[in-house]
Amino acid sequence: MLIAGNWKMFKTQAETRAFCAAFEPPDGVEVVICPPFTSLPPAVESGLTVFAQNVHWAEEGAYTGEVSVAMLQELGVAGSLVGHSERRQYFGETDESVARRVRAALEGGLDVIACVGETLEERERGQTELVLRLQTEAIRDAVGAPDQLVIAYEPVWAIGTGQTATPEIAQEAHAFIKSLIDAPVLYGGSVKPENAAELLGQSDVDGALVGGASLDPDSFAAICRAARAA
């Protein structure tokens, strides 16, 4: 069971040190935190497993604002999120660019949590499986299903909205994704201590990608304990 905390654009270096000092991950659960780029060094120094929130496909070059695999590895970062819905929505990520980032990260020796998921409009149109197929197969066709790859299903309509997919919806989507690629699948979308146990208890849910609830050490630890129990 893997629990990953995506801090998005929150936490300075000082706040990161304070979190790491207060957070006590339970035994029996694999825990990853994904701080913003500037807070990666203090996070790594804490001894926790640390992923970046994004990584570029090129080794170097004229890519203002981007960060390469080697730059992350120099800091001691173990992996990276790729293709988060906010990257797709606000920064123009496509299935093709996500696949390129995933391939470069894996080939460079980083672990990857690659995100897929449908918008509310796509779900209401009955296009959930089509969207998941296109996004997942783009990744699978680029890299296969190596051990270093994890998929995160994040229904876009449940991210930062307070809405959460029912356990049944999550299970159905995870089972479908697993029919396309042989990889663990995390659930991401308003995961909280109150709903974590039920979501993580589904047979095809292999962990969680936690957003806002990962910013508080006590809240994040409670979700990790729910994962251990599941």
CATH for 218:
3.20.20.70
Count: domains in the chain: 1
Nearest to 204 by CA among 229, 228, 168: 168
Mean pLDDT within 102-115: 98
Give the 3-state DSSP-derived string for 160-193, with helices as H, strands as E and coil as C: CCCCCCCHHHHHHHHHHHHHHCCCCEEECCCCCH
Give the mean pLDDT of 162-187: 94
Joined together, the tokens standing for residue 23 give: 């957070």
Query: In the annotation, is 84 catalytic?
Result: yes
Residue 131's domain spans which residues? 2-229
| pTM score of the predicted model | 0.96
Which of 21, 135, 140, 130 lies closest to 88, judged by CA?
135
Q: Write down the catalytic residue from 86, 93, 118, 154.
A: 154
pLDDT given at position 161: 74
- pLDDT tens digits, 138-164: 999 999 999 999 999 999 988 777 777
**pLDDT score recorded for residue 158:** 83
Q: Among this protein's residues, is 174 annotated catalytic?
A: no
Q: Across the chain, what does the average pLDDT equal?
A: 96
Q: Which of 56, 84, 93, 118 is catalytic?
A: 84
